[in-house]
Amino acid sequence: MRSQKENLRQMPEHSTPAASAALAAIGAYQRYVSPYKGFCCAHRARTGHASCSEFARRAIERCGLLAGLRLLRRRFLACAASYRALMAAGPKAPDTEPLNEPCPLFTLRNAKCCGGTSLASCWPFM
């Protein structure tokens, strides 16, 4: 049988109340804030890796709160560098030409989406 000390060492560090609160806050951010803010993590946009909030959640789950925060600090520095690199590259011009592709709602030959602004623009009989 294992002693109580061995069992405590086997428990993940993130089971502390502070780590649980941090994971709950990250989960709330990912569910209620991030989808509606209008932009994504610069590091994710530049590299295609996980966002900073996803990185923070995994780091705290795997390494515990203090070690996860140390890793997150390094990640925020990398994200800031990615932001600077993206801004130095300049903003992309928005596409101004209307879409000229078959409407996904209809398979009629003459149904074309005209900019995708409304359902009426895709309906061929209006």
Q: For position 97, what pLDDT does the model report?
A: 53
32 or 13: which carries more pLDDT confidence? 32
Mean pLDDT for the chain overall: 75
12 or 114: which carries more pLDDT confidence? 12
106 pLDDT above the threshold of 50: no
Q: For position 43, what pLDDT does the model report?
A: 93
Banded model confidence at residue 14, pLDDT cuts 50, 70, 90: low
Q: Phi, psi at residue 119, to the nearest 5°?
A: -65, -35
Domain residue ranges in the chain: 8-89, 94-126
Contact 65, 38 (CB under 8 A): no
Q: Which of 48, 63, 47, 46 is nearest to 12 (CA)?
A: 63
At 34-73, the pLDDT tens digits run 999 888 999 999 999 999 999 999 999 999 999 999 999 9
33 pLDDT above the threshold of 60: yes
